[in-house]
């Protein structure tokens, strides 16, 4: 067994162990609008669903040189954003958006993304992405000593590329959504091409799990 006491590790060592173990992680490509009105896009894999009623999601911003990243600063100014799911078609463009561009430079234009206006929020949608969730900020929670900023949003509109959702059943075809996920190290990713089914447990006298 290999065991580690985080109190004996520096932040890079902690990050390497955590981010290479909690895998695969979904990727949120988040658009926001800055103070200069320039739209911004950046990917975040410390990302997940929070719950429903209303539908909510979260992603976490690690600090850059002790400061909150542009995405967080933009959301503090205009509490709206769009979360996009990333597939293979947009993976290179997503990667370009992770570069540390100067303020006022739009990663969206640089990466060559096509955009469309959102319905309920101001930041634009990246229409090549298979799913686009328009969000309004619920809260930004600061955690840890650095600190990290957890952005929690309410999903106020959901958009999907044609053919991904069975609209009568609200069934999302995972194979057609085809998200990529983040794995270990600086550049490893995965596909969801190796899925399997496991039904809810059927244990006599024990109610089936509901979630
Ligand atoms: C796939 C991927 C996932 C990433 N996940 C995160 C993350 O969860 N949190 C974070 O702070 N940065 C993450 N980054 C780095 C940010 O995308 C990067 O710092 C970006 O420049 C932030 O842009 P901004 O300053 O415009 O907000 C990730 C990068 C990539 C390529």
Per-residue pLDDT of 22-37, as tens digits, reads 999 999 999 999 999 9
Q: Does domain 10-190 have CATH number 3.40.50.300?
A: no
From the CA of 150, how far away is ligand 1's center (Å)?
A: 13
Closest to 83 measured CA to CA, from 118, 37, 35:
118
* Beta bridge partners of residue 81, listed in sequence order: 135
Task: Decide whether any atom of ligand 1 lies within 6 Å of the 40 Cβ.
Answer: yes
Task: Decide whether any atom of ligand 1 lies within 6 Å of the 148 Cβ.
Answer: no
Atom of ligand 1 nearest to the CA of 64: 19
Amino acid 211: pLDDT = 66
Report CA 209 to chain centroid distance, whole Å: 27
> Do residues 42 and 123 lie in contact, with contact meaning Cβ atoms separated by under 8 Å?
no
Task: Decide whether any atom of ligand 1 lies within 6 Å of the 43 Cβ.
Answer: yes
Closest to 94 measured CA to CA, from 76, 103, 107, 78:
107
- Which sequence spans correspond to the domains of the chain? 10-190
> Could you give the CA distance from residue 181 to residue 8 in angstroms, rounded to a whole number?
30
Q: Locate tokens 């709206």: which residue?
A: 80
From the CA of 184, how far away is ligand 1's center (Å)?
A: 15
Amino acid 52: pLDDT = 98
> Could you give the CA distance from residue 23 to residue 48 in angstroms, rounded to a whole number?
12
Mutate to test the pocket of ligand 1, among 31, 35, 44, 179 (most ligand atoms within 8 A of CB): 44
Task: Decide whether any atom of ligand 1 lies within 6 Å of the 69 Cβ.
Answer: yes
User: Which residues in the chain show pLDDT less than 70?
Assistant: 210-211
Q: Most distant CA pair in the chain: distance in Å?
A: 61
Task: Decide whether any atom of ligand 1 lies within 6 Å of the 106 Cβ.
Answer: no
- Measured CA to CA in angstroms, residue 177 lies from 18, 35, 105, 140, 160 at distances of 27, 33, 30, 28, 9
* Structure tokens, 176: 């057609």
Tell me the pTM. Answer: 0.96
> Could you give the CA distance from residue 86 to residue 30 in angstroms, rounded to a whole number?
10
Amino acid 119: pLDDT = 98
Amino acid 75: pLDDT = 98
Q: Whose CA is nearest to atom 16 of ligand 1?
A: 98
Average pLDDT, the chain: 96
Mutate to test the pocket of ligand 1, among 43, 58, 190 (most ligand atoms within 8 A of CB): 43
């Amino acid at each position: 067994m290999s065991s580690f006491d985080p109190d004996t590790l520096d932040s890079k060592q902690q990050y390497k162990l955590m981010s290479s173990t909690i895998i695969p992680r979904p990727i949120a490509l988040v658009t926001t609008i800055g103070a200069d009105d320039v739209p911004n896009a950046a990917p975040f894999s410390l990302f997940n669903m929070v719950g429903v009623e209303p539908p909510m999601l979260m992603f976490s911003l690690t600090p850059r040189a002790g400061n909150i990243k542009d995405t967080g600063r933009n959301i503090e100014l205009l509490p709206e954003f769009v979360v996009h799911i990333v597939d293979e078609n947009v993976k290179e463009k997503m990667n370009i958006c992770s570069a540390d561009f100067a303020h006022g430079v739009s990663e969206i234009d640089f990466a060559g993304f096509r955009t469309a206006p959102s319905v309920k929020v101001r930041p634009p949608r990246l229409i090549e992405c298979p799913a686009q969730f328009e969000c309004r900020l619920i809260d930004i929670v600061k955690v840890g000593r650095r600190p990290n900023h957890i952005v929690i949003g309410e999903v106020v509109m959901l958009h999907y590329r044609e053919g991904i959702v069975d609209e009568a059943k609200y069934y999302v075809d995972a194979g057609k959504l085809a998200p990529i996920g983040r794995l270990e190290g600086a550049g490893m990713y995965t596909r969801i091409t190796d899925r399997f089914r496991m039904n809810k447990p059927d244990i006599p006298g024990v109610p089936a799990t509901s979630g």
